[in-house]
Chains A and B, each alone.
Chain A
């Protein structure tokens, strides 16, 4: 309860607690560190997915066999089974044995050869949205390729020169390039944004626990007394949160180092992302402390931390775009700090935008940290003055 050097005293007090509590120590260092590596590993597979699809071939022609072959040769697909009738195909789809069944109807080949045009059907299980999207893309490409080949043959038989026919089977061609994100590099696309979402959860939990534990154990009075000036209280709180801040910033640095291993060598961008991530960590920790002092209950504050941080990824715009959200959900998304970090990281590391795009977020985070920290000081005084409320479970 020293009023001299409140920062150092509080920092040491927290440090000694962490040394004595294996769980709390793990929660601010070992577990976050392990989950960073775990997520990175989870998205490490650079292999195509080879999603299982089925073929229901009624035509048994050279064309239908060619289509089957092309489907199987597509890296993202694997023709797992052939089906003999509608019943079998539908049952397989419903059982989830395959994610799609491609139907090649009788007379497909003769319809195409005679100029009547052939129709084939992709029956896809849209309940599995990601799988369905990938399959639709790949099957459309295969059909486009086969169709173009048929058209070219037709043009050549009608006397068009081969080269001209090649150029004009599709007079206008769209060449799709998914900008920035190297195709299929999910480690960067998903892994690198899931990691900050996890650190956000760990950081807010740490902030809640650091202050909330003293409330639960009725030890708040051992840490500080209620007669101290606001300046001493501010320094003491800073000292108390410092071990978590340093430890989680270290984990943040490790995570950015991992991202850098994936070939991103723009040092300024990496430094900005790391700076933003550290600010996000500090902001989350301060927000956690604020939540504990607001609710005066460790349990309620942890529930609150869960409410803010757990769905943050769903609201971030990474999976489902911000601009398609309802205005209420959009407002909530914009209030969540993680949304802003995710956007900054995507801009700098994936879209290679220049570093000055980071400024608004970095300034916003700094302002928010200052504001939230200033709010905690009077709340800390309120908590210190009402010892009858300590010990809430």
Chain B
């Protein structure tokens, strides 16, 4: 083994990998399974009909109007509850996710040109549910409120059209880019996919190299290392091709469509991961160690990537450290290229980051993994 040439090691490695169930499972089968399993909970994309309640202490035609508008809002599914105490109890039991209180005297206040205050409470522990509840109620209240304002303006002698504008003189229109439907899966999955690809490949390669260490066959010449790296890259490129070529399209995610840029990313990402996986394998020295040690790391890496958790909220000491993990730059580059359609020059810093990590890893690997006769 130590003296085998580039092509001979390439072929021998491919052969050994395909015969090793453990490596095939991690490098090929696991990413395919996770590609379907991870997006499964988010299949519906939108959160609609969140159960919520209204406590109506006013019992006027105005409060009933608010109730009707809230009931018609697709974001929430509303029921009436007799008291705030009952609403809290329902919240604890998980029967509702938020409630609105219409206080006694609401209609009287509005008729006397005093602002009527309604309290909306959402369960802040769950961001998406909370958002649906707060927005659903706010929209209902806003609609009724605008109706009252329009009536007041009309009474002052404005035309219907003028009154409509006067009730809301400055309007905001929101235009969502890239993830146009603002779906949850379309936002989370394309980013997490890069992390899944990283973890399965790192662990798979480390498992293979750990096995080689056990068999005392890990140390080889640089050309043989290149053969090993290329063998793993070929498998990884196939899996990545499956993700970007088919899975994302099938899941109907945003398609910015910089295909060449995405290809370039894949070309760099795979060898960087393989090199670092091999280094981990040399460090762990035992076949199963990579699985044992690496399983927990996905979750912290997910929050460090600056994607689901804005990097602006990370401690300043972590701002530099997080770029040492390949997935951080890969996620930023992939989302820009494949979902947003940015040009390669825009993502060049991220690609350079991945290439640098790969280059440093490669040199380290040749040093640590060199054959003692060399």
Contact = CB atoms under 8 A, between A and B. Distances in A.
Contacts of A201: 295-296, 299
A180 B125 contact: yes
B340 interface: yes
B74 interface: no
B339 interface: yes
Contact of B179 (A116, A127, A186): A127
A164 B187 CA distance: 45
A263 interface: no
B22 A393 contact: yes
A118 B170 CA distance: 5
B340 A320 contact: no
Nearest to A95: B346
Interface of A is mostly: helix
Given A112-B170, A198-B299, A303 B110 contact: no
B250 interface: no
Contacts of A94: 336, 340-342, 346
B264 interface: no
B304 A42 contact: yes
A324 interface: yes
B299 A176 contact: no
A133 B188 contact: no
Given A174-B137, A179-B124, A320-B128, A132 B176 contact: yes
A147 B177 CA distance: 25
Interface in B135-175: 137-138, 141-142, 144-145, 148-149, 152, 156, 162, 165-175
Contacts of B169: 112, 115, 117-118, 147, 150-151, 154
B313 to A, nearest CB: 5
Interface stretch (B237-245, B284-292, B361-369): B284-292
A190 B313 CA distance: 13
Contacts of B254: 127
B217 interface: no
A134 B129 CA distance: 14
A145 to B, nearest CB: 10
Nearest to B93: A357
Interface in B289-320: 289, 291-293, 295-296, 298-300, 303-304, 307-310, 312-315, 318
Contacts, number: 330
Contacts of A299: 22, 207, 287-288, 291
Nearest to A44: B315
Q: In this complex, which of A126, A332, A333 has the most chain B Cβ atoms within 10 angstroms of its Cβ? A: A126
B300 A35 contact: yes
Contacts of A353: 92
B42 interface: yes
A175 B41 contact: no
Contacts of B166: 115, 151, 154
23 contacts: A27-B292, A35-B296, A118-B171, A120-B171, A122-B173, A124-B177, A126-B182, A127-B177, A127-B254, A128-B307, A131-B310, A171-B149, A172-B144, A173-B116, A174-B138, A178-B124, A205-B296, A311-B34, A318-B126, A320-B184, A324-B128, A325-B44, A351-B125
Given A128-B187, A172-B144, 7 more contacts: A23-B293, A49-B310, A130-B309, A168-B149, A180-B123, A305-B295, A321-B50
